[in-house]
Amino acid sequence: MKRVVLALAAMFLSACVTVSQYPDYSELASQVVPSNVQLLGTFTNDWTGITKVDAVFCSGYVVSETQIYTAGHCVDSKQVRQPNGQIKVRLYDGRIVLADVVKFAFSEEDGKATDSALLEVKAGGLGKVAKKGDSKALKQGQQVVIVGNTFGELTNSFTVGVMSYVRRSFDWGVYHQTDALAGPGNSGGPVFNMQGELIGMLTRGGGGVSFFVPLDVVEAELAAAVNKPFEELRHMAKRSKK
């Protein structure tokens, strides 16, 4: 009996040590979550017929006092664009601002796929700016963080996972693969390393597998994109014929 009690006590202590050693990401979350923003739109539920105004459509992230990065497909929808082509954005502190689409790189052509957009609010004051890191330095097995607005309802969600694969190539682009959870509404949102540095943009996720575009690829796409009024940019975008 004494041996059984001692064995149970050892198991309990072991469990306590395991729990106490579980990482506390609260400080990291406080650093990275505030740079996340929400792209808003107007949507009608096909089943209920109920129309929601200022519903969350996608995510984005603040990269300067006046600029936001997001995915190209996030600003391409008529549901999210205002009549003048602007995008309504809710910042972390709850303020809603109108942003201009100043660069737009969206192509679904095999081998030439792009999916990035640069939004600008000339008045500035967008809040917490994401600190940029080196997306080329990532290694398989390292941890990463995804921040976004999962399902459009779970705003400012923070999830942690590992790099499942580095720079996986598809016909539709080059992506980092992670098991950090994401879903609809996370598109266009930021991905960080464990130092709180921005390393990419989430574009696809579901079923326990998420893909994000490396930051260097995002910035290369935007550097090559033309700077024109959004309606002109949109007509230049090339869609798949499939």
- Residue in 73, 100, 179, 216 annotated catalytic: 73
Report the candidate in 188, 237, 158, 206 with the shortest Cα–Cα distance to residue 56.
Answer: 188
- Residue in 107, 116, 157, 187 annotated catalytic: 187
Phi, psi of 137 (to 5 degrees): -90, -5
Structural element, H or E, at residue 242: none
Label each residue of 175-200 as H, E or C. EEEECCCCCCCCCCCEEEECCCEEEE
Note if 107 is an active site residue: no
Q: Each residue of 186-209: b (16+ CB within 10 Å) or e?
A: bbbbbbbbeebbbbbbbbbbeeeb
Q: Are strands 197-206 and 114-120 parallel, antiparallel or unpaired?
A: unpaired
| 77 within 8 A of 68, measured Cβ to Cβ | no
Q: Partners of 67 in the beta sheet?
A: 120
Number of residues assigned to the chain:
242
Note if 176 is an active site residue: no
Structural element, H or E, at residue 49: none
Note if 235 is an active site residue: no
- Residue in 35, 59, 115, 135 annotated catalytic: 115
Q: Are strands 197-206 and 190-193 parallel, antiparallel or unpaired?
A: antiparallel
Q: Please identify every residue annotated as catalytic.
A: 73, 115, 187
